[in-house]
Each structure stands twice: as C-alpha cells, then as structure tokens.
Amino acid sequence: MRAIAIAIFPGVQALDVVGPVDVFAEANSFVAPDDGYAITLVSAVEGAVRASNGMRMLADITFAEANTRYDTALVASLSDFLCDRGHEIIPKGKFHD
C-alpha cells in the first residue's frame, strides 16, 4: 500500500482535492488491495477547512498528528495561507527531506 497525503488549507479549490482523491480511488479498483493507495487528507488547522467555493472539508489529521512517512505528498492549490505559513507548518522529514 502506498501512503498518499493531500494537504488542504483554507481557501483551497475543492476540485484540486476531490480530483486527485477520485483518481487514486479509481486506481485502487484496478490493483490488488495491498498494492493500492491509502489517501489521507492533512491540514494545518483542526476542524473544517472552507474551500474557495464555500464547501467545507474535514481533514483526517493535522500536520502535527502525521506519524507516517508518505510516499507522495500533494499540495492542493496554492493559497495565501500556505504561502504565508508553509515553512512553519509542514514538518521536515514527514513530507520532504
């Protein structure tokens, strides 16, 4: 199983989250269960994250709670939130070297 983290932030574009989630979920239907993708939504903030279209999303965990070494980390959209605080909220070693 490959561990996939998708980072979400306030102001994220919903399609930038649900599109990759759907792609990995569909890919899982073509491979053995142990060869698929385990998708985790990760956020810098606790609770719901409001997307740019007003939709609310709930991450599985926060960056602080992440205890898995992810095979792939995707950042959904580039928001002002991430540009302003990215270096302080993405822990080195869990998502990059």
Domain ranges of the chain: 2-89
Q: What is the pLDDT of residues 37-87, one digit of tens each?
A: 999 999 988 999 999 899 999 999 998 888 878 888 888 776 555 555 555
What is the rounded CA–CA span in Å between residue 30 and residue 33? 9
Higher pLDDT, 64 or 28: 28
Higher pLDDT, 66 or 26: 26
Contact 20, 90 (CB under 8 A): no
What is the rounded CA–CA span in Å between residue 16 and residue 34? 26
Residue 73: per-residue pLDDT: 85
What is the rounded CA–CA span in Å between residue 4 and residue 81? 22
Name the class of domain 2-89. alpha beta
Phi, psi of 49 (to 5 degrees): -110, 130
